[in-house]
Amino acid sequence: MRQFEFAVYLGQETEEGFFGFITTPAESKNKNNFFLVLEVASGLTKEEGREIVAQIKEEFLKQTIDNLVGFEDFVNQQLQKHNLPTGSSLASGLIRNDVCYLKTINEGKIFIRRKNNFEKIIDGDRTASGFIKSDDFFIFTTNHFIKLFSQESELKTVFNHKTPHQIIEDLASQIKQADDRGTVALFVQLLKEELACQEEDKDEMIVSQPIFLEKGRSLFKNLYEKFNQYRQRTSKKKTLTLLTAIFLILLLFWSVGLGYNRRKEAQINQKISRSKELITQKLDQAEEVVFLNLPRSQALIGEARIELSNLKKELGGKENKEINEIENLIKEKENKIVNKEEKKAEEFFDLTVDNKQAQGTKLYLNGNELIIFDKKQGIIFNLSLKEKSLEKLTATEIKSASLISDYQENIFFFVKEKGIYKTNQDNKPKLVINSDSDWGTITDFWIYNGNIYLLDTKKDSVYKYLVTSEDKYGDKTDYFKSGEAVKLAEANSLAIDSSLYIGFQDYLAKYTAGVRDQFKTSFPEENVNISKIYTSKDLEKVYGWDKAKGVVYVLGKNGDYERQIDSEVLSKGDDLVVFENSAYILLKEKIYKLSLD
């Protein structure tokens, strides 16, 4: 069991409220070390506080806690059991063998000094876990104590290779003029155990072995030269005796070298075993909390990856079967937690069957008709997803187009300098909306019930053009209700299913009848990079395509995250639409189909 030295700074008592601490005996029966500071500003008398702290300590000594979730549950249960006032602050830690579990609540804070580094580990309502090392120095406190200093980093200056008791003595004189009423700070230092010292000595001995072997090679060379000289001037019997002695010396050196390799391999295996245990604990905890707290679950997965990365660095990046197994375990757990499935797309159609130079850049879907825009050739292909039949439209105006759409077998395309064109039954483009000097940057456009919607990211507007007759449209109106503030500079795509959805890099916005809807997107990662969103009146879900990650996020129409599909083609595609639970991905001249079931 680890040995610690600790000391406590207690400020002056207050007329109301309570502050106290807990440390467990050096040899507690459950073999765990428990540290806690508690600060209650009001609503708890000193007598009540002391009784609660004593009961928490007594309850802990009966427990066997071996993971972070268990420790967090224990602390939360104690808070509920003793009905501590709202606003109580707490900083606590459990150390079991070489692993520490930490939890803070409200204004609780935990700091660590490791060698010359000083950092705040956690504060607020958070948890953390990790390996400890000899001579680690922890501070368990609250924000009330930190306010005695001009800034948190000032705490670093109080250490200077001092023991906890020496630090308390210095602090008492340093901040005695300050108002320290109700403050508490627990300083805990991990002592270097005799066993740890023996291991360090052993490391020094192992480091010296290669030098010893190098000197041995030089010795062998000298012995060989002297042996030849000796053999030439002595009898065979004496030569045989000398050979036997040399053999024994060689055997000794071989044994030393083999022993060195065995010890080195044992050290590596021990490091891997310790890291694997911690990583497995984090993954198990991530799986336990995913239903109620997906962000926390993701954070634990991230901590597991950091631990694996550190282990790889310690091993010098060498290939190792167990490291690969740990890596696969993390990937498997992550996929399960975020409901991620890897799928392979199948080639659905090749445009070069009809046109050898075909190369699409944009897609649009209307019913089961897939419209593919080939800007370079000035061609718009119309592909039936049901029959796989292909038609095409060519016109000089198409080469100047940037966006395409489709409605009731009529193709529309947008040309910034001219306006919006619509094809008739003879497939001849006709200008139906003239270019408008008010247009800023038209990023996307959509047709719904015959009406045309343009997303202007420069002017923070979505323009709506109502259809009045077969080829005529009314003047543009602003889709958003008066007074509805919108910022569209970072918007990248538009989709309509009666409500209007606008895609941004890390979230989606939903508007109904021009007013922002109660729609909040949730993703399993923080660093999402949505390239395009897609939905329609025929789809029950909203899809977010993250090209950088090569995934499609599947969301409910209330914004709730449901699952994600991972596929190699998603990281290469040029555009994407969804039809009947399958994504159709454009990649130059080919269309790929990816099941989203």
Amino acid at 227: F
Mean pLDDT of the chain: 84
Would the pLDDT of 536 be above 80? yes
pLDDT at 546: 96
pLDDT above 50 for 433: yes
In three-state form (DSSP H/G/I as H, E/B as E, the rest C), the secondary structure along 225-268 is HHHHHHHHCCCHHHHHHHHHHHHHHHHHHHHHHHHHHHHHHHHH
When pLDDT is averaged across residues 213-229 and rounded to a whole number, the result is 55
Residues 515-533 have pLDDT tens digits of 999 888 878 777 899 999 9
Residue partners of 459: CB distance under 8 A and separation at least 6: 438, 439, 440, 441
> In the chain, pLDDT over 90 holds for what percent of residues?
44
Banded model confidence at residue 201, pLDDT cuts 50, 70, 90? very low
pLDDT tens readout for residues 5-36: 888 988 888 888 899 999 986 556 667 889 99
Residues in CB range of 211: below 8 A, 6 or more apart: none
What pLDDT shows up at residue 206? 34
CA 530 vs CA 7, 461, 552: distances in Å: 51, 20, 9
Distances (CA, A) of 153 to 140, 141, 169, 543, 569: 15, 14, 19, 45, 48
pLDDT band at 40 (very low <50, low <70, confident <90, very high): very high
Mean pLDDT within 377-404: 92
Answer yes or no: is pLDDT of 473 > 50: yes
pTM of the model: 0.60
Look at residue 66 in the predicted model and tell me its pLDDT: 81
Q: Which pLDDT score, from 0 to 100, does residue 26 have?
A: 55
pLDDT at position 540? 94
**What per-residue confidence (pLDDT) applies to 318?**
67
pLDDT attached to residue 275: 82
